Amino acid sequence: MKRIFTCLAAALVLLCGCGTEESVPEPKYYIQEAAHLYLDAELPKKDAVQESEDRVLNYERVHAVWIPVMQYGDWMTGKTEAEFRNAVREGFGKCAEFGINTVYVHVRAYGDAYYHSDLFPAGSYLDGDYDPLAIMTEEAHARELSIHAWINPMRTASADRLAREDAGVLGEWYRDGEKNGTFLVQSGSLYYLNPAYPEVRQLIAEGVSEIVTQYDVDGVHIDDFFYPTQDAGFDAAAFAASGAADLGEWRRENCSAMVREMYGAVKEKDSALLFGISPQGNMGTNHDKLYADTERWCSEEGFCDYIVPQIYYGFANSTCPFAETARLWAETASAAKLIIGLAPYKIGLTDQWAGAGAQEWCTDPEVLSAQEAFCASLEQVSGTAFYSYASLFAPEETVAVMVQAEAERIREGWEKQ
């Protein structure tokens, strides 16, 4: 039966800053690695797209939030199934009350699964044998929230984790002398899947199929973790065997093949399901350092339905000033819906990579709401997404007042749209 959409009452929201992401999920809040950041009255109308009868819930104007794996430390660790459901119910209720209509929930961050999987082991935060994604999907749809399963396709786990007997397919590859170092390659403290191999891309696509086949999600979402290094040793054997002449172009083709296969896995299940990508805001970083051809993906058919560049920069950022960067993406994203990723976690904090704009988020209390308004003024932009849930709903005392005021300004702006 088709869902009936209703306007949701607005409520105050509190926000907080985040810590720096580490190679393992220890910090409470997850943000981009410093190296990535460097170059780097009526609520909004809920015009849902329901091309697939009774199944898909997605919005023309998107107000989204990321719920990263670190949030499960609060919601899941040491909790029963009932306690987890209550935490999700409360969290999604806050989202809906604020005017959020879409949630990107982390379901595979480190080669693990916060859902029932035959391919990947259970996530480390999960205590018990219940199904987090089933619960989150049910609770999201009960509040008319579109829910997209967020995965990291290439990043996996540490050697200790992969060596365990319950590590699934990745554990088998880790223990295989031929696949360890080829299919699965260590970079820093973690292992990454190498998309140069068809078998690896097949596993990644099968992981996507497993989600959309078993769960009533409205889409699948990936972020900006592609190639972890520019070191040629990462995939030297595969590159040599390929006969290709340019390592960068070859890696970009590998990434594009991986993305295309994930997109195909989603569409094979249901053409109305969405596949989205959230790359770095800096196109040059994507292309030259992560080997992600994001310009191609959002300007050619067959790669993604929507793209959410992480434009986590202030207006005065010396390398990527917000307005210019947003306009560039608006000019580029001709084949995919454009949603702009915004950074409430920066409110009240020094932005060490912003050059002359390092203090902008401290001295200007309205950066975020001004960015939201700027995005609304661009015809090509179909909404915004906030990183992250914790920044919206788990405030630190030092920034709570600033953030609450910004939340009110953003809500008021949505009411006028």
Per domain, the residue ranges of the chain are: 34-416
Mean per-residue pLDDT of the chain: 89
**Strand pairing report for 190-193 and 184-187:** antiparallel
Q: What is the pLDDT of residue 417?
A: 85
* Model confidence at 51: pLDDT above 80: no
Quote the pLDDT of residue 55.
75
pLDDT at 49: 47
Name the CATH architecture for the domain at 34-416.
Answer: Alpha-Beta Barrel (3.20)
pTM of the model: 0.89
Report the DSSP beta bridge partners of residue 155.
192
At 397, the pLDDT band (50, 70, 90 cuts) reads confident
For residues 131 and 92, give the distance between their C-alpha atoms in angstroms, rounded to a whole number: 17
What secondary structure letter does DSSP report for 129? Answer: S
Alpha helices in 236-366 (DSSP H): 236-242, 247-269, 283-288, 294-299, 322-332, 360-363
* CB crowding 261-296: b at 16 or more within 10 Å, else e: bbbebbbebeebbbbbbbbbbbbebbbebbbbbbbb
**pLDDT by residue (tens digit) across 125-134?**
999 999 999 9
Length of the chain: 417
Task: Please check the confidence at residue 172 and state whether its pLDDT lies above 50.
Answer: yes
Spatial separation of the C-alpha atoms in residues 6 and 43, rounded to whole Å: 10
CA dihedral 27, 28, 29, 35 (to 10 degrees): 0
Question: From CA 50, how far away is CA 272, in angstroms rounded?
Answer: 7
Q: How far is CA 120 from the centre of its chain?
A: 19
Residue 256 clears pLDDT 60, i.e. is over it: yes
Q: What is the pLDDT of residues 349-365, one digit of tens each?
A: 999 999 999 999 999 99
